[in-house]
Structure 1
């Protein structure tokens, strides 16, 4: 084969390969807003590893509202949460109805959880979620004393009440910029919903953000 023919063949093959490969992939779409994904009642050896794995695989970050008793029992899982890029919040020590307790008891529930999470390697929480979303002036005052911002939620996924995977995904689909959703780490349907939650948010230009201790709203991660 003559040199000119060989060169023409090489160029032709290169052009054909480029056309098959197609254009370079587009950059990820920018975030048009941020939402706060939250998971209560952890950590545990039974549920935390699978949840963290699912969140990581789907590019999601979340706030984990841990009970102090479980943070003390499973410190390795607290460290795994932070290592996976999650934020750790205070969800009381034993998950009582805080509004039925006296100030000293509320103080114990909150302070012991701060200590348990910090001792486990989760840092010092700046966010607090009262169990059942029940609060009053006493609970708020004690939380403030420990530098905690009280976080309730805008949307309840109802995963604690047996909600289906579809229902959990649809609940996440109702979130708007800055809003927060309540989920839990133990329901199997919540774990199964994670990939579709990621798809639903991405389809609406929303990203999983951090919850600001200043405003209590979801914002871009630091």
Structure 2
């Protein structure tokens, strides 16, 4: 795995690509998830936000997503889920999907199996205890994975989710660049974003407009395929 340059919070992997299979479907959006300018979906993409929750960023992100008719998958760190359970509940109540992003965001491929197990299991418990349900999706920190990490994921019934498009918001990408990254998404694909990135927050209205203009809607990530699909 290649890692990108380190930013003030942490480095992330760039350039990872998950092959996308072309699957198109058309459904009418439900009212609570429908941007005012979109009537139907001809495909779905997975918007993902790592590193939450927090009292400073989560409320603003949920508000922006809700105002623009978007749902997303929140890959939460266990340490923050334990510290801010009300924000986990807020994510769930807002219709977001909640995934596991480890407890302390270590480089898992450098850890022992027991440490990997602890990082994953404690996060499963922290999110469940906070009212976020039991995650079915796992995003390894930095996108770094190996057979041991994948074996522990399987033990907890988790599907590993990397990404097709990296917004580069962790690397100081501008709002325009983040909007352009989302514009590269095609049906079934997943994009990496972060809940603490101010430019990402600013980009959300334009992301919603861009997706609607291409007949794409924000979907859930299937635990079976790892692809974005129509919400349940």
Q: TM-score range by the shorter chain?
A: 0.7 to 0.9
| Equivalenced residues, count | 197
Quote the Cα distance in structure 1 between the aligned partners of 2:201 and 2:111: 33
TM-score (norm 2): 0.84
Q: Which runs of 5+ in 1 are unaligned?
A: 1-25
Which of 195, 201, 213 does residue 191 from structure 1 map onto?
Answer: 201
TM-superposed deviation, 1:85: 0.3
1:15 counterpart residue number: none
- Secondary structure at the residue paired with 1:110? helix
Cα deviation code 1:41-64 (max 9, x no counterpart): 000001000000000000000000
TM-superposed deviation, 1:29: 2.7
1:92 counterpart residue number: 102
- For the pair 1:148 / 2:168, whether they are aligned, the reply is no
Root mean square deviation, CA, Å: 1.1
Structure 1 residues 195 and 28: alpha-carbon distance in aligned structure 2, compared to 1, 3 A threshold: closer
TM-superposed deviation, 1:28: 4.2
- For the pair 1:220 / 2:230, whether they are aligned, the reply is yes
TM-superposed deviation, 1:33: 0.3
Cα deviation code 1:126-182 (max 9, x no counterpart): 000000000000000000100000000000000000000000000000000000000
- For the pair 1:126 / 2:136, whether they are aligned, the reply is yes
Quote the Cα distance in structure 1 between the aligned partners of 2:123 and 2:161: 16
2:175 counterpart residue number: 165
Query: Is the 2:37–2:212 Cα contact (8 Å) retained in structure 1?
Result: no
1:178 counterpart residue number: 188
TM-score (norm 1): 0.88
- Secondary structure at the residue paired with 1:186? coil
4+ runs of 1 displaced by more than 3 Å? none
Whose helix fraction is larger, Structure 1's or Structure 2's? 1
1:203 counterpart residue number: 213
Quote the Cα distance in structure 2 between the aligned partners of 1:30 and 1:164: 30
Structure 1 residues 174 and 28: alpha-carbon distance in aligned structure 2, compared to 1, 3 A threshold: closer
Quote the Cα distance in structure 2 between the aligned partners of 1:150 and 1:180: 12
- For the pair 1:104 / 2:143, whether they are aligned, the reply is no
1:10-89 pair list within 5 angstroms: 28-89=38-99
Q: Which runs of 5+ in 2 are unaligned?
A: 1-35
Cα deviation code 1:5-64 (max 9, x no counterpart): xxxxxxxxxxxxxxxxxxxxx994310100000000000001000000000000000000
Larger Rg: 1
